Amino acid sequence: MGSNILARNLSQQEPGRGNRHATAACTPNIARGHAQHHESADEYSGIVARLSASHRVIICKDRTQWILQRRDGERHGRARWAGVGYCMTREALLRASRASCARIDPAALAALAALPEHIGRPST
């Protein structure tokens, strides 16, 4: 009976929003290697590029901006990430990335350079 209540609560929550009662249901997915919908999770599904061991770029869950993140410790033995820059243009993202991250992996820099000029528009 308890699992039916949990399943009903999970199906009624807003998309992209956590449910404090769903922790037990979400934890096994992490163990099986499924991507997470929490932007701060190491396994977040919207990773654009890993700039270095301590920095990465993601696309936000609403797909309205790119977020430059810095590794911010661990939770439950997994890396956690915190936003340090929020960008809607490729130029702003590149500028913020260079200012925050001393050494950027060349492949990651190429991935950022290949992004559209403005989020939500096709690549130029």
Share of the chain above pLDDT 70, in %: 69
Does position 21 have pLDDT exceeding 90, yes or no?
no
Per-residue pLDDT tens over the stretch 90-118: 999 999 999 999 999 999 999 999 999 99
Per DSSP, the three-state class of 78 is strand
Question: Is it the case that residue 15 has pLDDT exceeding 60?
Answer: no
3-state secondary structure of 22: coil
The angle that helices 106-113 and 90-100 make with each other, rounded to 10 degrees, is: 160
Q: Kindly give, in sequence order, each residue whose CB lies less than 8 Å from that of residue 104, ignoring residues fewer than 6 positions away.
A: 51, 52, 55, 97, 98
Over the chain, what is the mean pLDDT?
77
| pLDDT tens per residue, range 62-93 | 999 999 999 999 988 989 999 999 999 999 99
pLDDT band for position 25 (cuts 50, 70, 90): very low
- pLDDT higher at 105 or 28: 105
Question: What does the alpha-carbon distance between residue 21 and residue 6 come to, in Å, rounded to a whole number?
Answer: 7
Whole-number pLDDT of residue 75: 86
Average pLDDT over residues 28-53: 77
